[in-house]
Amino acid sequence: MNFLALTYFKTVADELNITHAAQKHYISQQALSSHIRNLENELGVRLFDRNPRLSLTDAGRCLYEAVQGFDSINSTLNEKLNNIRKEERGELRLGLSFTRGQFILPRVLPGYALDHPHVHISIFEEHSSDLLDRLIRGELDFWITADNPSVEGFASDPLFEEHFFIVIPRKVLSNVKGPEQAAVILSKNTEDFALEDIIDCPFVLLNPGNRSRDMFDNALRSRKLTPKILLETENSQTAFELSQKEMALTIYSDMFLRNYTGKLNPDVSIIPVDRFMPPDVLRVYYKEDNARIRYKDSFLRNLHNAFAGVMD
């Protein structure tokens, strides 16, 4: 059963006149009659009595009742399909970490959603390995990450550099090193500052598997240093707030620092550690075919525009 056959049936049922129905559809009476016979054969019932005049059978009335809302359904369906053809409807599937999502998504999605009200947006906030698997399986349109793998068949565009800082509460450093030595350490310039200076202090760090944690672990491992971990968390904001409350040291990125809305504690120092943890380049991965779909290409352009010069 197809829409065309049902359309012809409904018109004949409304008109009860083959000639008038054929004229409405600009086809011959013979062609219209053939469509009706094919529909009857498909359903295995007679839909019309032909003598003494054209009228609906019981089966015909049953089908007629079933297709009463057909015009509205057909119109709605055609509108939706037309929107898809015009690339105004669809689904946008984004993958990125929870903490990066807090920084990136508010800068991109509000304006994008306003411009594309019929696009459904799905967010996947998972670990990088899981998101990479989703990307390869075709379950993501865009993956934003700093892992920078080489993924065959996918394009990747750089978005911005992410620099890292070590957050040092003066009180914590003084308790471990003594006030005088703490003052000396905090007065060092960036080139002279060493991880050995603070390795005996307690740390609040992100859980293993998070990018900044893995980079910090690598920096310590290369120097054969082991941190004193007081607490591990999944949320970089939690780590930073605990450090601001002078509980422990932590590692933080300028991406999140720029997004921080609280009042910074003047007794907490924030020192760049580019020497130990080189800046990450955040990139967006996608199939090049996505750039040919209007609403997906629009997201990619909005993403680049949102972060043009952000980290300069």
pLDDT in tens, 81-123: 665 555 567 899 999 988 788 889 999 999 999 989 889 999 9
Averaged pLDDT for residues 4-8: 84
What pLDDT, on a 0 to 100 scale, did the predictor assign at position 129? 85
pLDDT in tens, 180-216: 999 999 999 988 999 999 999 999 999 998 888 999 9
What pLDDT, on a 0 to 100 scale, did the predictor assign at position 75? 60
Averaged pLDDT for residues 268-273: 94
Is the link from the previous residue into 52 a cis peptide, with omega within 30 of 0? yes
What pLDDT, on a 0 to 100 scale, did the predictor assign at position 81? 60
Task: Evaluate if residue 151 carries a pLDDT over 60.
Answer: yes
What pLDDT, on a 0 to 100 scale, did the predictor assign at position 304? 92
Q: CA torsion, points 217, 221, 223, 227, in degrees to nearest 10?
A: 60
What pLDDT, on a 0 to 100 scale, did the predictor assign at position 254? 85
What pLDDT, on a 0 to 100 scale, did the predictor assign at position 307? 86
What pLDDT, on a 0 to 100 scale, did the predictor assign at position 71? 63
pLDDT in tens, 42-73: 989 998 988 888 999 999 899 988 887 666 66
The answer to whether the beta carbons of residues 233 and 204 sit under 8 Å apart is: yes
The angle at the Cα of 125, spanning 124 to 128, to the nearest 5 degrees, equals: 105
Task: Evaluate if residue 133 carries a pLDDT over 90.
Answer: yes
What pLDDT, on a 0 to 100 scale, did the predictor assign at position 84? 56
pLDDT grade for 148, boundaries at 50, 70 and 90? confident
Mean pLDDT (the chain) is 88
pTM metric for this prediction: 0.64
Q: Which two tokens stand for residue 113?
A: 């959603």
What pLDDT, on a 0 to 100 scale, did the predictor assign at position 256? 81
Averaged pLDDT for residues 21-47: 89
Give Cα 40 to chain centroid, integer Å: 49
Angstrom distance (rounded) from CA 67 to CA 202: 72
What pLDDT, on a 0 to 100 scale, did the predictor assign at position 50? 85
What pLDDT, on a 0 to 100 scale, did the predictor assign at position 85? 53
Task: Evaluate if residue 259 carries a pLDDT over 80.
Answer: no
pLDDT in tens, 156-190: 999 988 899 999 999 999 999 999 999 999 999 98
Angstrom distance (rounded) from CA 197 to CA 267: 18
